A = this chain, B = another copy of it.
Amino acid sequence: MSQGLAGRLTDDGHALDVRIYFEDTDFSGVVYHARYLNFLERGRSDFLRLKGIGHRELLAGRYGAPLIFAVRHMDIDFLRPARIDDVVTVTTRTALLGGARIILDQRIACGDAVLVKATVKVAVLSPEGKPMRLPKDMHAQLQPTASA
């Protein structure tokens, strides 16, 4: 029954539905701003997952040297708040694919309303924090709009 838990691949990337629970809200009555970064990370993780790339395998060296992805820079607009019981959709698409970094465009929407827009720069690192090159297989998998 875990089918669909990782969201779905779309024409230009990935979409993931996320439920807002008690834990996500704060006393102002809406979602605590930092929680949106958790939702964005779930979107990125499940995008990679559906492309066949798991964090545990990455760190265990299944793609050559052990690798982790680390967020290096984020530019983020908090436009409208989500509320308890809402279901929001996190969309992720590759904007730019370099040798050692990836830039992703991500959004969180509730129905037609865009709640959050973010540009996220992710680096590929060794577990010790040294910049690494993105393995070729992965490079091919994460090409922006492969279909276009």
Q: Which residues of A are at the interface with B, using a C-beta cutoff of 8 A?
A: 1-6, 8, 15, 17, 19, 21-23, 25-30, 32-35, 37-38, 41-42, 45-46, 49, 54-56, 59, 68, 70-78, 80-81, 83-85, 87, 89, 127, 129
A85 partner, pick from B17, B22, B54, beta carbons under 8 A: B54
Whether A56 pairs with B84 at a CB distance below 8 angstroms is yes
A-B contact pairs, 30 of them (CB 8 A): A1-B89, A2-B17, A2-B87, A3-B4, A4-B4, A5-B19, A19-B42, A21-B38, A21-B41, A21-B42, A22-B28, A22-B41, A22-B55, A23-B32, A23-B34, A25-B27, A26-B27, A27-B30, A28-B70, A29-B127, A33-B37, A33-B41, A33-B70, A33-B71, A34-B41, A37-B37, A55-B85, A56-B83, A74-B78, A76-B76
